[in-house]
Structure 1
Amino acid sequence: MTYVVAEPCLSTIDRACVEVCPVACFYEGGDQLIIHPAECVDCDACRPVCPVSAIFVESEVPAEWHSFIAKNAEFVKGTPNLVLAKTKTEVEEAHQDTFAVCREAVAATAAAPAAVAVEAKPEPAPAPAPAPAVDAPKVEAKPAAPPAVKKPEVPAPSKVEVKPAGPTELAPALYRRGLDLLREVVALQEAGRLTAEKVQEAEQMAKDLRAELTKAMGKENSVLADLEKKSITFRQGEELARALLRAIEGIEFEHAFRAGRQKLMEYVGGLVVLGVITAFIGWMTARIVLAKPLSLGLPLTPSVLMSAILDSETLPLFAAFSALGGILSLFCLGALIAVCRSGQALMGIWRAREQKRLGLRVTEAES
């Protein structure tokens, strides 16, 4: 009695049958498992464990699968190097595909080199023995003197100037000093006690930071992205330099603005005082002129006013107060011109500060 593996195995190759076979008679068949008929002991252990019922006794194979009887027999006879089927556990532990294992086993068997018969070639006839040589008189030859060998001149190694590499990160001490200075500048600015010396110190610190960055990058005006690619400390140094410049960039304008505003207020104050005095002088002049006509009850006609001005008692006072009023009016005009000029200068300082701030923002945006 012979067992045959039929068509259902083509889509499964479950290998549960290999696990229970006591004599290991299952072999890899390329697209299914094959039972070796000469090794099978007809124990019937494999048939009940097959999940797709692909194993039959040869006499019980369904009619539509009779071709598998011949396929099993021909595969065993036509394959000289059968590959023993792997168990289900072996395939799962190796994380292999059961179909791929079956195909590769048969492919490896087909690729095995066959024995090649080598045709024996007839041996060549032995060559005739050479005639005996006649001994010639030996002549001693003097060895020739070896030619003089000139030593090759080895050129002296050329000196290659190696430029020292720049620093790979910003000096921590320099960064800490700059950070402390920035905090001090901000505190002094908020308190309104920032001096010109401290402003110069902040400017010098910004120059020192950028000089260090120029030395490291080998060029000036590096953008923040390039600085960060080389070292994050270089980007921090550039940002610190910009913060210092932003903290002091409005100081000189602030001082100039305050001075211009103070001067403007002084001019305005002087103009107001002169205006009040001039108005008082005008009021006194009018009172001197109108005192006599009003006391006499005369109408204020031009002839009456002219007579009052030309009066011997009124004329000296009128002339003095009129001259004083004219001088004060000139001073008022000068003060008014000074106020206008101070206002224009103050507006120019404010515009220059805004333009510088805008330029700094544009530069940072481009970086």
Structure 2
Amino acid sequence: MTHDYLQVDDLLTDEDRAIRDTVRDYAQSELAPHVAEWYDEGTLPDGLGPMFGKLGLLGMHLDGYGCAGTSATAYGVACRELEAVDSGLRSFVSVQGSLAMYAIHRWGTEEQKEEWLPRMATGEALGCFGLTESDAGSDPGSMKTRARLDGGDWVLNGSKMWITNGTLADVAIVWAQTDDPSAGSGGGGIRGFVVPTDTPGFSAHKIQRKLSLRASVTAELVLDDLRVPASAAFPEVRGLKGPLSCLNEARYGIVWGVVGAARACLEESLAYTSEREQFGKPLSSFQLTQRKLALMTVAVNNASLVAWRLGALKDAGTVTPAQVSYGKYANVRAALDVAREARTTLGGAGITLDHTVMRHMNNLETVMTYEGTEEMHLLSIGADLTGSPAFR
């Protein structure tokens, strides 16, 4: 394929390629024809969870409890094929599997795992991940949501912002500052809670008027004297170690996903400029257009190599958070540059939903911000290089 200029997919295993083909065929036949309408309406169709569950995409890289247990690379390839259609679709799968399900799988009790993971793997139950707050984005340690012990229960108060799948979720993973004396020093007392969304005191409010990630449901969560039993808390993890481990999983999926968005923009740009004629010949025959196509091809393939390498490191169990930050920063930036360049090759046609490039471009503005802003990932790399954290 033209977009796979360096034949990176030849490095995939047969199983990886089989998953690639299955997800690509489904995404292109069942999702791509409708995504512009979903984006325009700012919604997602009912039943998307069970459809993704039937494909085995939800928590696919986790073991047991009904999860497929694929390689990290296979999960990345699936993210790539979903985001080639729209970032919102990859976000749906990413939040379900790499944030909500991963949190329970990594930090939950056996009872929590048995109760939620099998149903989440099939899409019968959907999850969301409540960490970010209006005043605590890049600095989650400053969160104001509180959980206090009251007898044998925890009582939660606060709010969470920009929560994907928030109004769709059956269960929310909520992180809160606690008065738990066992938290110790340095952890800030932050603990995670598995909160069924039908619990009294829980409400979710859809965020409207978005200009990006419109084919995705985003919400504010409000916790008003919400009472859960002691068994709702993750038993061991304290401080930011828990939520940051989940974010690292989600960031890894983004590293792959944005390659799909960039690839889609390149493919549309090449097809459009090959057909569109000006001054008596196709746009693709002009030197400046060919320069754009060549630069976009280099960017897509470089990003693809980064994703594949991080997948290999993750499958080997050696990838570091700083390396994932490298991939998230480099690949999102590359994808956004490709989308912007591709938009210019379509001229005025590029601003409509009849084409994909500006929808991808708008989405990538959000992807650049969530799961860690560019600034935070550069600081993570800088801290790893120098040994001197500069976050504060």
Bigger fraction of residues in helix:
1
- Structure with larger RCO (C-alpha < 8 A, sep 6+): 2
TM-score (norm 1): 0.25
TM-score (norm 2): 0.23
Greater C-alpha radius of gyration: 1
Bigger fraction of residues in strand:
2
